[in-house]
Amino acid sequence: MAASRPHPHHIIGARADRSSGASSAATTAFGSGTDEPATSASTDDVVEVQVPTFAELGVHPRLVPVLEAEGITRPFPIQSATLPDSVSGRDVLGRGRTGSGKTLAFVLPMLTRLAASGTERRPRHPRALVLAPTRELVNQIRDAIVPLAEPLGLRVQTVFGGVSPVGQVNGFRRGDDIVVACPGRLEDHMGQRNVRLDAVEITVLDEADHMADLGFLPGVKRILDQTPADSQRLLFSATLDNGIDVLVKRYLTDPVTHSVDSEQSPVSTMDHHVLHVSTADRLGVLVDLVSIEDRVMVFTRTKHRAKQLTRQLNAAGVPSVEMHGNLAQNARIKNLAAFSQGRATVLVATDIAARGIHVDDVALVVHADPPVEHKAYLHRSGRTARAGASGTVITLATEQQRRDVQHLARKAGIKPTVTKVEPGHEALREIAPGERRLFSRDEVEAALAEPASPGRNGSARNGSARNGDRPDRPKNRRPKGKRPEGQRRSGAADDARSDGQRREARRPEGSGDGPRRTARSGNGPRSGNGPRSEGQTRSDSPTRSDGQRNGERRPGPAGSGSARNGTGRGPSGRNGTGRGPSGRNGSAHGGGGRPAGAGAGAGGGRRRPNR
């Protein structure tokens, strides 16, 4: 990088000193993604500034062709400002609005420095850590890293809740260079010693302000305490409130701050509208707006409201899917895929989708329920008009919500166009132009049906080519019908053995030659496994009187004691009685009992006669 070239941060800082109109024009030129130099105009003069390329900013040479293949040839302002410092190894604090290109601003220097360090990959010891507040944002970051990491031979793993931890544990054991994680599940793995962070070279905190809103800061601090103090740390956030400044002071060493496209910066390609509607007309106006052919995101305040509104839109003929915290991870992936692939034209979501979900060509964002705070409004609206594209943001407000929406717009720094509408109003087609189309119920179900994934031989997973029906595998199944007599379920012959013989054959080696079962009482065992002899009781003893059977206590002389399955004087014993200490499975005068299965002996199980 030539020494005479001006620092990009100085260029952007100079632009910020101009009027808001000039600053907005400069921002648009920087984010255009074209090879033409960006220019900013004023009434007095015209200043032409050459935007540096990724190679000039120090990005690894193998990453530049990958970016060009994706159509990314020029960096956005946040990337131009932060890359020189982050590539050199300094701690960086980057502040920028949603959709300003913050993901590549930390992915590119992270990959460049990991490739240059040459440290070997070790199991359970990742080399880089990226923390994000939501599962959707984790997956988005992973999708941005994977194509860039492959040319460098680096491996990436995601860690978040809602799924089985087995695959994540196996990934730690295998060893990965980069871990992109939500704080909660990562702490679980740290507590179980599945992963250690003492080898982390770079730590990134993305959407740190949202992690603070969700209450993740204590966990984030515990995680950062386990990383080396001299490692590089990059923090990207829209604001520095809610305790973010505490993280900066505690964990960033002499950080360089770059503020580009703040959250309150106006987006010239985004139009804001507030539509006043009655409660009865709200659903009809919404159906009219979202029935266009373009992708639309609708935001609600609660999970129940998102689920309810999705059902209503599908019933009205608009293919819609939902996204909220009550959905399992598989359902989230399925719904997001349906929206990204165009099978569903509407995604109804809570604020969880306002962070981390990036879907191209979202033309319209509708606040079916106005958000509570202005930051949520800005993050919701940031799903459209991304990377220089145009988009429209509409807020539906009832009579009771008008004052709150006015206060919300004032704090967000926007001046929306206010219109009172009803279903079929001509202003709706001006705000959201395009042909309206409503589908039948069967067409909606067919559009939302998940396509069958291909099997091993190219057939559908639920098709005929499965298990024994695959064409490349012979069929060895037994023909249907009655099993031949004497043949067991496994197909082997029974060899006409009796039940007792088969049980004896299954006994472990060295278990003895005698019968498996021993007598429960002090009287002799049953003979073999055949039927009991006449008069033999269930307790495997010879014929006894009613009083002796089942240990029933019979009245006797004073001082006589009772025993289980027998009675006699003195201390009682199990399965036998006699004078003196009792023993198991029989007792004698003053001694231990006989072995199990022995016949009636001295003092063994029989009642002593009365004297």
Instruction: Give the DSSP per-residue string, 448-516.
Output: HSPPPPB-TTSSBTTSS-SGGG-TTS---PPPSSPPPTTB-TTS-B-TT--HHHHHHHTSPTTS-SS-S
At residue 428, what is the residue type?
L
The average pLDDT across 538-566 equals 47
Of all residues in the chain, the percent with pLDDT exceeding 70 is 62
Q: Which residues pair with 561 in a beta bridge?
A: 568
Amino acid 270: pLDDT = 86
pLDDT of 155 reads 96
Q: Is pLDDT at 202 greater than 90 in this prediction? A: yes
The string of pLDDT tens digits covering residues 426-446 is 999 999 998 999 999 999 999
Q: List, for residues 483-539, the tens digit of each pLDDT value.
A: 555 555 544 444 445 555 555 555 555 444 444 444 444 444 444 455 554 555 454
Residues 283-312: tens digit of each pLDDT: 999 999 999 989 999 999 999 999 999 999
Percent of the chain with pLDDT over 90: 45
Instruction: Tell me the domains of the chain and their CATH numbers.
Output: 8-259 (3.40.50.300), 270-448 (3.40.50.300), 561-589 (no CATH)
**CA–CA distance, 373 with 131 (Å, rounded to integer):** 24
Closest C-alpha among 372, 352, 453 to residue 412: 372
In 3D space, the residue among 341, 425, 427, 423 whose CA is nearest the CA of residue 392 turns out to be 427
- The pLDDT confidence band at residue 31, using thresholds 50, 70 and 90, is very low
| 438 and 320 Cβ atoms separated by less than 8 Å | no
Q: How confident is the model at residue 63 (pLDDT cuts 50, 70, 90)?
A: very high
CA–CA separation, 176 vs 76, rounded Å? 29
Is-above-0.85 flag for pTM? no
Cα 16 from Cα 26, distance rounded (Å): 9
Question: What is the mean predicted confidence (pLDDT) over 389-413?
Answer: 91
pLDDT-based confidence at residue 452 (cuts at 50, 70, 90): low
pLDDT digits (tens, 9 = 90+) for 112-122: 999 999 899 99
Q: Region 33-59: what's the mean pLDDT?
A: 58
Cα–Cα distance measured from residue 177 to residue 168, given in angstroms and rounded to the nearest whole number: 14
Residue 64 is predicted with a pLDDT of 94
Joined together, the tokens standing for residue 343 give: 């099978």
pLDDT at 27 over 80: no
Q: Residue 68: which residues within 8 A CB-CB, separation 6 or more?
A: none
Residue 507: per-residue pLDDT: 54
Query: Can you list the alpha helix ranges (DSSP code H) found in 150-206?
Result: 166-174, 183-191
- 305-359: pLDDT as tens digits: 999 999 999 999 999 999 988 888 889 889 989 998 999 999 999 987 666 677 7
Mean pLDDT is lowest, of 131-140, 141-150, 587-596, for: 587-596
SS3 state of residue 420: strand
Q: Contact 461/455 with Cβ under 8 angstroms? A: yes
CA distance 378 to 520: 79
Q: How far apart are CA 214 and CA 379, in angstroms?
A: 15
Q: Using an 8 Å Cβ cutoff, are 207 and 183 in contact? A: no
Tokens 């300003």 correspond to what residue? 100
By DSSP bridging, strand 178-181 and strand 156-159 are parallel
Beta carbons of 103 and 206 less than 8 angstroms apart: yes
Query: What is the rounded CA–CA span in Å between residue 209 and residue 169?
Result: 29
In 9-117, beta strands by DSSP E: 38-41, 46-49, 92-95
SS3 303: helix
Interacting residues of 603 by C-beta distance below 8 A, sequence separation 6+: 568, 576, 577, 578, 579, 586, 587, 588, 589
| Residue 355 token pair | 């962070």
The continuous run of DSSP H or E covering 11 comes out as helix 8-16
In this predicted structure, what is the pLDDT of residue 501? 56
| Average pLDDT of the chain, as a whole number | 74
Distances (CA, A) of 18 to 24, 65, 415, 547: 10, 35, 21, 109
Instruction: Examine the pLDDT at 540 and tell me if it is beyond 80.
Output: no
For range 377-391, the mean pLDDT: 78
Reference 290, options 439, 415, 406; nearest CA is: 439
- Whether residue 277 is predicted with pLDDT greater than 90 in this model: the reply is yes
Average pLDDT on 416-427 reads: 93
Q: Is the pLDDT of residue 589 over 50?
A: no
**The predicted structure's pLDDT at residue 521:** 44
On whether the CB atoms of residues 360 and 375 are closer than 8 A, the answer is: no
Give me the long-range contacts of 85-89 (CB less than 8 A, separation at least 24). Answer: 85/256, 85/258, 86/232, 86/234, 87/57, 87/58, 87/59, 87/112, 87/113, 88/58, 89/113, 89/232
Mean pLDDT of 378-393: 79
Rounded mean pLDDT, 158-178: 94
